[in-house]
Amino acid sequence: AQSVTQLDSQVPVFEEAPVELRCNYSSSVSVYLFWYVQYPNQGLQLLLKYLSGSTLVKGINGFEAEFNKSQTSFHLRKPSVHISDTAEYFCASEGSYIPTFGRGTSLIVHP
Amino acid sequence: EAQVTQNPRYLITVTGKKLTVTCSQNMNHEYMSWYRQDPGLGLRQIYYSMNVEVTDKGDVPEGYKVSRKEKRNFPLILESPSPNQTSLYFCASSTLAGTDAYGYTFGSGTRLTVV
């Protein structure tokens, strides 16, 4: 069975500072990994995905994530955040077409 | 524009009154799924469908029904809604092949309140 753990429920950060949102997964099979963003009163939007190949994945809005198989992690990073990045972020894994979502991390960017 | 359309966006209903939330996608995606989102619990899958006439239970299927008679539509049916089904519901779709495989397109959500 798969599971996804987002280690922080809330991450406050000042504008223009770097940020890392942490995600660990567990699975007995190869998985695909994803990060989604949910802005207030909206649905989820795909930020980036790792299926295979390069372990560093670049996504939209300047975000990137690194797949680390030995640490079973897929942390999301951005070198300089903006106020507009304030949102809920979800890590997800998928194996055999059955996705599993983490409980979400609320990124709060302060001016 | 490629999108998943859910209706209605907001719905208040009474216990026991049957309701349907519609979901339609215009991307010819094979895979469609319904989720509910509750504070502190993240997203939980209700039902999913791999293709027309193929549906299966997710993590929390009790109290819900679905059908997939056409590829583009995947309605969620609550035969006898109860207050514990008050939640934010999302429909999502994805393709299972090609460079766009995996990774979902989500609808804007339906906020359901059962009183």
Q: What is the pLDDT of residues B18-43, one digit of tens each?
A: 999 999 999 999 999 999 999 888 89
C-alpha distances in Å from residue B27, one per residue of A16, B30, B46, B92: 37, 9, 22, 11
Residue with the larger pLDDT of the pair B90 and A51: B90
Inter-chain residue contact B102 with A102, CB threshold 8 Å: no
Q: Determine the distance in angstroms separating the CA of B49 from the nearest CA of chain A, rounded to an integer.
A: 10
Chain B residue with minimum CA distance to A35: B103
- Cβ(B80)–Cβ(B64) under 8 Å? no
Of the listed ranges A85-89, B42-46, B82-86, the one predicted with least confidence: B42-46
Q: Is the pLDDT of residue A74 over 90?
A: yes
Q: What is the pLDDT of residues A28-42, one digit of tens each?
A: 666 789 999 999 888
Residue with the larger pLDDT of the pair A65 and A100: A65
Q: Is B12 on the interface with A (CB under 8 A)?
A: no
